[in-house]
Amino acid sequence: MSVITIERKVLEKNDIVAAENRKAFQENKTFTLNLVSSPGSGKTSIVERTAYLSKRKFKLGVIEGDVQTNLDAERVARYGVPVVQIVTNGSCHLEASLVRNAYNQFEDKSFDVLFIENVGNLVCPAAYDLGEDNKVVIVSTTEGDDKPLKYPAMFRNSSVLIINKTDLIPYLSCSLETLRNNALQINPDLKIFETSCKTDEGIKEWCNWIESKMMK
């Protein structure tokens, strides 16, 4: 019982800060996406391809979350995108206060779109609101087609699913149809994109969707 009470208090405190973040994002007319996945699904590659293909369409900012190193932030910065790194030093998820502190480090906050790339984990980040407009769960075909059934909370709490690394389907036993059906079984309202950062399959459609959702 004490564990449940402590967890509730932690989440309540987080939700208060998340609401403050959301207000700040809305005041700056910034469409904010929280990218969540297991390690190696291709979150950073999705950010890179989005930055490359949409740099003339909208202004993008990125908050990078990692357990250690700033390697992903360095990758994104090569595209001329403002980026702030959060190193959690072992913590398996980002919290709203960490995002607030990172956001305040941007000198210019006039982003059309802000990506928050969460720590690679399909469990803890599901419970933490960061103030985002949408939580986007990314799975790669190399992980198999049963991820939604194994981690239902993440798929239930997300509004968008990106199925990445579709170019590898011919070499895997993963079924796109099964993966889609498993995800929709958990959350029938999921918006689904199928992408490859090698061939750019689906990336244009993803970018067009972002542009259509941006706050005017």
Mean pLDDT of the chain: 94
pTM: 0.93
**How many residues would you count in the chain?**
216
Structure confidence at residue 70 as a pLDDT band (50, 70, 90)? confident
Cα–Cα distance for residue pair 81/13, rounded to 1 Å: 31
Output the 3-class SS for 68-124.
Answer: CCCHHHHHHHCCCCCEEEEECCCCCCCCHHHHHHHHCCCCCCCCCEEEEECCCCCCH
Containing H/E element for 46?
helix 43-54
Least reliable range by pLDDT among 54-63, 82-91, 98-107: 82-91
In the chain, the domains with their CATH numbers are: 2-213 (3.40.50.300)
pLDDT in tens, 27-55: 999 999 999 999 999 999 999 999 999 98
Alpha-carbon dihedral sign for residues 32, 100, 43, 191: negative
Structure confidence at residue 91 as a pLDDT band (50, 70, 90)? confident
pLDDT in tens, 136-149: 999 999 999 999 99
